[in-house]
Amino acid sequence: MAPTATFGRDSEEKTKLPADRSGIDGECETPSVSSDGEDRGTWGNHMEFFLSCLGFAVGLGNVWRFPYLCYRNGGGAFLIPYVFFLVFAGIPMFFLELSFGQFAGTGPITIWRVAPLFKGVGFAMVMISFLVCIYYNVIISYILHYLFASFTSVLPWVSCTNDYNTGDCVEGGHVKMAFEIYKCSRIGGDYSNGTCFNATMNATAAMMNETLQNTNFTRVSPTEEYWKHFVLQISDGIDDMGGISWSLTLCNLLGWIVVFFSLVKGVKSSGKVVYFTATFPYIVLFILLIRGLTLEGAMDGIFFYIKPDWSRLSHPKVWMDAAVQIFYSLGAAWGSLITMSSYNRFNNNCYRDALIISVSNCATSVFAGFVIFSVIGFMAHEIGVPVGDVIDQGPGLAFVAYPEAVSLLPISPLWAILFFFMLFTLGLDSQFGMLEAVLSGLIDEFPTILRPNKTWFTLAICVLQFLLALPMVSQGGIYLLTMVDWYSAGVSLMIVAVTECLVLAWLYGCDRFFDNIKMMLGSYPSIWWKICWKVITPVVLLGILLFTMVNHTPVTYGKYEYPDWADSLGWLMAMASVVNIPLFAIIALVQAKGTFMERLRSVTQPTSEWGPALNRDRDLDLSEPELNEKGVPVVDIVPTDEEKVDLSKSMERISTV
């Protein structure tokens, strides 16, 4: 018989099982435990894991970034590089992390027992997720502010009559007239009843248009002024942080309360919440799409979105935009995928999950584009400007362009409530995944201290991040938030991803990793994945990293340019996570024994504790099962010492009879 996999433990007589352990979804599983025997918990069923991963992958970027990238990079033609990088980088990394986490059954720090020299990669993942969680919840507080403000008969961002409005504010329905008045004033005329009168010169329409070719008319919408002057109460720059916005502070506190109670019991509680938070956005997107398609001008917006510009495919930046969007959208290298899959049943089909979730995530991005552009097309038609003049990305889309478009709809408060509640649920799912990576990573690394006090530790992390976010809800907070967003998960995240892929594919080895996958799924994956993990995916990730570094520009917010000290602070923030990789490598080498080469060999090999979390999963036979003459797998069960004694007594009784 072929040897069993003992993962460094003393060999002993063990029960051998057939290699095929594919299992059935929904089958009961005992809670997974760490190697010290403590209860980690597990998903209630497969659907909880699936929805958690889907909710984490499908985030705010699918709604407020992808549609803009698609329009800017050639419309429908952008889908070609998008799908290309999905196949060669996105899905391979997604499958790699799901199978990695599921096999080891532990968090993103402890899992680096696979190669202790690179334990710092796990700490870097946790640090990146920790930093992003701080400002991500502030974005959720913006969403909550707009959500609560939508519970009114008239949306508060539709008029220019508020105390905070400026003289440049022009309401959407009057933009055409405002532009005509502006044009008339530029040539010294008087506008009345739709006509421009000029007492000093008989300016013809042709002369007027020629004169205005070199003029710029800037319309400031009431929605933009509501966002800047009421919600943010924005200051002049990061040097002027100003006072705290108590409305945003309370919204941020509410966001953390929701997050805490959703994660207080780990996956046992968050697994129930995602049934709503992961599915509700799809319901709202479908409702908004149906409503959007009935609006005048909607098809102009959709055509603007999907119209292919094949010439754009010759621009390298288009391909890099697609690669970066795929990478960040699927959420590799944050530690979240490793964490969520670590709570799976050992024989869960993570290969199937990786394919379905990755494709669903990208399909959601495309679908969201139709929703956004149908309403944006209606808005452009209503205010009489091109679609390209009103579309935006990020906060500009979520808090300026789309709210203004919604305000033009009948029963506008209803659509605003649906839209912002959808964004709230999208943000929560991503926040769950990142924060769970932080919590599980640290609890699994320090189980004796933290696991018995998990509730208090979760509360402490939430309170700490709430306090760290207070400067971000000040009048200058948007500048700080933008800086943290710019640097915390850019180059550093790419370095972590490249290191992770190279270590598993080359140092640990694809052959060993394929054996691990076979233990879980019952069969080896296609050689295609080995080619991707060893060659294609690392090359793509290195390309994205180099492109990101070469094309890096200092942080900006709109037209505001940050001082040099802010740029330096941002780089220190980026390096705060990456520095863990060499730091813990040095610590591992110092703690090892022997000559330098002996130490190096020691810390680049799996430890004796590496392997599946459950003891019964560590003893699986890696070989093909033996078959009897009828082709049925032979199960060779070796009795324990107690069973041998019982069998001996039974034989004595039989011989006596």
Mean pLDDT over 354-367 rounds to 94
Q: Which of 182-191, 433-442, 514-523, 566-575 has the lowest mean pLDDT?
A: 182-191
Contacts of 651 (CB under 8 A, 6+ apart): none
Number of H helices, E strands in the chain: 31, 4
**Among the ranges given (174-183, 238-247, 439-448), the one the predictor scored with the smallest mean pLDDT:** 174-183
Ligand-binding annotation for 57, yes or no, is yes
More confident residue, 144 or 406: 144
- H or E element that contains 196: strand 195-197
What sign results for the dihedral spanned by CA atoms 42, 95, 112, 20?
Answer: positive
Question: Residues 551-560: what's their mean pLDDT?
Answer: 87
Is 329 annotated to bind ligand? yes
Is CATH 2.30.280 correct for 47-160+225-446+454-562+573-596? no
The tens digit of pLDDT for each residue in 425-461 reads 999 999 999 999 999 999 999 999 999 999 999 999 9
pLDDT for 579 equals 97
Over residues 199-235, the pLDDT tens digits come to: 444 444 444 444 444 445 556 788 889 999 999 999 9
Q: Which of 230-239, 299-308, 309-318, 641-650 has the lowest mean pLDDT?
A: 641-650
Indicate the SS3 state at residue 556.
Answer: strand
Does residue 581 carry a pLDDT above 90? yes
**Cβ–Cβ contacts within 10 Å for residue 67, how many?**
24
pLDDT of 32: 43
Rounded-to-integer distance, Cα 121 and Cα 50, Å:
25
Q: 393's torsion region: left (phi>0), alpha (psi -120 to 50) or beta?
A: beta
Instruction: Tell me: is residue 430 an annotated ligand-binding position.
Output: yes
- 622 pLDDT above the threshold of 70: no
Predicted confidence band at 28 (pLDDT cuts at 50, 70, 90)? very low
Q: Is 16 left (phi over 0), alpha (psi -120 to 50) or beta?
A: beta
Determine the pLDDT at residue 450: 94
Measured CA to CA, the distance from residue 437 to residue 488 in angstroms comes to: 16
Q: What is the pLDDT of residue 375?
A: 86
Q: What is the pTM of this model?
A: 0.84
Per-residue pLDDT band for 558 (boundaries 50, 70, 90) equals confident
Percent share of the chain, pLDDT over 90: 59
d(CA 552, CA 72): 19
pLDDT of residue 94: 96
Instruction: Name the residue among 395, 399, 569, 473 with its Cα closest to residue 134.
Output: 473
What would the two tokens of residue 162 be?
């508020």
d(CA 22, CA 349): 7
Of the candidates 473, 441, 577, the one whose C-alpha atom is nearest the C-alpha of residue 256 is 473
Q: What pLDDT is stored for residue 383 in this prediction?
A: 75
For range 64-75, the mean pLDDT: 85
State mean pLDDT over 367-373: 91
Q: What is the pLDDT of residues 538-555, one digit of tens each?
A: 999 999 889 888 888 899
Q: Determine if residue 361 is labeled as part of a ligand binding site.
A: yes
Structure confidence by residue, pLDDT tens digits, 125-169: 999 999 999 999 999 999 999 999 999 999 999 888 899 998 888
On the question of pLDDT at 9 being above 50, the answer is no
Identify the three-state secondary structure at position 135. helix
| Lowest-confidence segment of 48-52, 59-63, 257-261, 457-461 by average pLDDT | 59-63
What is each CA distance from 494 to 125, 331, 531, 575, in whole angstroms? 11, 11, 20, 12
| pLDDT on residue 607 | 94
Asked whether residue 541 is marked as a ligand-binding residue, the answer is no
pLDDT bracket for residue 337 (50, 70, 90): very high
The pLDDT-based confidence of 64 (bands split at 50, 70, 90) is: confident
Cα–Cα distance for residue pair 581/577, rounded to 1 Å: 8
Residue 613 marked in a binding site: no
pLDDT, greater one: 161 or 38: 161
Residue predicted with more confidence, 454 or 190: 454
Predicted pLDDT at 220: 77
